[in-house]
Amino acid sequence: MSSEGQPVSEITLLLRSVRQDGRGDCDLMAAIYRQLRHMAAARMALEPPGQTLQPTALVHEAWLRLGNQEFQNRAHFFGAAAEAMRRILVDRARRRQCAKHGGRVQKADIPDMEIATPADSDELLAVHEALDRLAAHDARKAELVKLRYFIGLSFEESADLLGISVPTAKRDWSYARAWLHVAISTG
């Protein structure tokens, strides 16, 4: 039990173990890898056809970006993981957008070319930019958007990580979606 009377998750205990004595790294990775992989797969399923980034690669790159940070608890870890995945997806969207608008142009023979449906990086970048403005306005709602939009958590999972009720998460989601829609449409 935590000091607030809440049960402490296995991940929180493993994070504390790593922080205190440096052990538990393998246990920690095994305990959260499946959950991160599931979240990445759910997020990648929302990507348009033609996406080359695989969920496993997204998880590995996010894990590398998390580095040797110390995490307070499960919510802190998954918040950081959501932010890392967000940054990875945004970086990829920017590279695709650059390429789409003539960046790195190379001569190619048309008969040898394979044509794939382009991924919609414009939406991802618009959400990313508006999300920073939402975070300045309401950090919790922005965090909810990161958890739901960028890593595909359910309302229940997001509410649990944020320490709010599911109805509150749904209200915050409705508000955040409307706020982001207005922010994106007005530029």
Q: Is 71 helix (H, G, I), strand (E, B) or coil?
A: coil
Q: Where are the alpha helices (DSSP H) in the chain?
A: 10-21, 25-45, 55-66, 74-100, 121-137, 139-145, 155-162, 166-186
Domain boundary assignment for the chain: 10-104+111-186
60 and 49 Cβ atoms separated by less than 8 Å: no
Q: What are 122's two structure tokens?
A: 């414009």
Query: What are the pLDDT tens digits along the chain (187 aa)?
Result: 444 455 556 666 666 666 566 555 666 666 677 778 877 777 777 766 666 677 888 888 887 888 777 777 888 888 888 888 888 888 888 887 776 655 544 444 433 333 222 336 777 788 888 998 999 999 999 999 988 887 788 899 999 999 999 999 999 999 999 998 898 888 7
What's the CA gap between 169 and 148, in Å, rounded? 10
What's the CA gap between 155 and 142, in Å, rounded? 14
DSSP per-residue letters across 124-142: HHHHHHHHHHHHHH-HHHH
Q: Which residues contact 68 (CB under 8 A, 6 or more apart)?
A: none
